Chains A and B, each alone.
Chain A
Amino acid sequence: MTTVVDVLAGALMLIGSALALIAAVGLFRMPDAYSRIHVATKPATLAVVCTVGAAVLRVPGLSDTTKLLLAVALQFWTAPVSSHMIGRAARAAGLQPAEPWLIDEGGSDLDPEVDSGDSGFGRPEPT
């Protein structure tokens, strides 16, 4: 039984590390920041899930398992939010993609040129 758990944990570790390596290679393969957000966030989250799953299989005791599961839940919660915020900030600051936009749903309240004082991001700009 211990051997089976160890083999499972080792496989999860290898899968997670390989995913992290693929994400790092993807940073070089992608042409602009928007596609890099796409390629860096999702494999990295899945890699964290895999390696933390390996740790869950190996650690003894309920308190460590709870902490690790909470870490996975927080990763699922915070990683999309932070990457979305970076992408939205890049769009608001006027970063252009490698190819021109096909659909641009940002509208005028994301456009700094037609900014009407309130930038649409909660706090107004200091003048």
Chain B
Amino acid sequence: MNWVVGISLGMLVIAALLTTVHVARSSTLPDKAIGVDMLVALVLNGLAVGAAFTKDDLSVSLVLIIGLLAFLGSVTIARYIERRGL
């Protein structure tokens, strides 16, 4: 179980680095919003892997809460793009 969790978290970290580079390099606001959305999904993945590894109660609650907050953030950015432009 140890090395499986290690490989999973390693892949997630590489994915997060790639996504961060994309957010930094992209020029328009929708691109950045997609990247940030993706980053939150990656955090969710990491928390779920952590919850599966440690069987921790807190991580399980955090998966639920961060999922809802991610939706709120994306909708807010989308409204901002609609009203203010790219």
Contact = CB atoms under 8 A, between A and B. Distances in A.
B25 to A, nearest CB: 9
B63 A71 contact: yes
Nearest to B41: A44
Interface residues of A, number: 58
Interface of A: 6, 9-10, 13-14, 16-18, 20-21, 23-25, 27-28, 33, 36-37, 40-41, 44-45, 47-48, 51-52, 54-55, 57-60, 64, 67-68, 70-71, 74-75, 78-79, 81-83, 85-90, 92-95, 112, 119, 121, 125
Interface residues of B, number: 51
Chain A residues touching B, majority SS: helix
B18 A28 contact: yes
Interface of B: 1, 4-5, 7-9, 11-12, 14-16, 18-19, 22, 28, 30-31, 33-35, 37-38, 41-42, 44-45, 48-49, 51-53, 55, 57, 60-61, 63-64, 67-68, 70-71, 74-75, 77-79, 81-83, 85-86
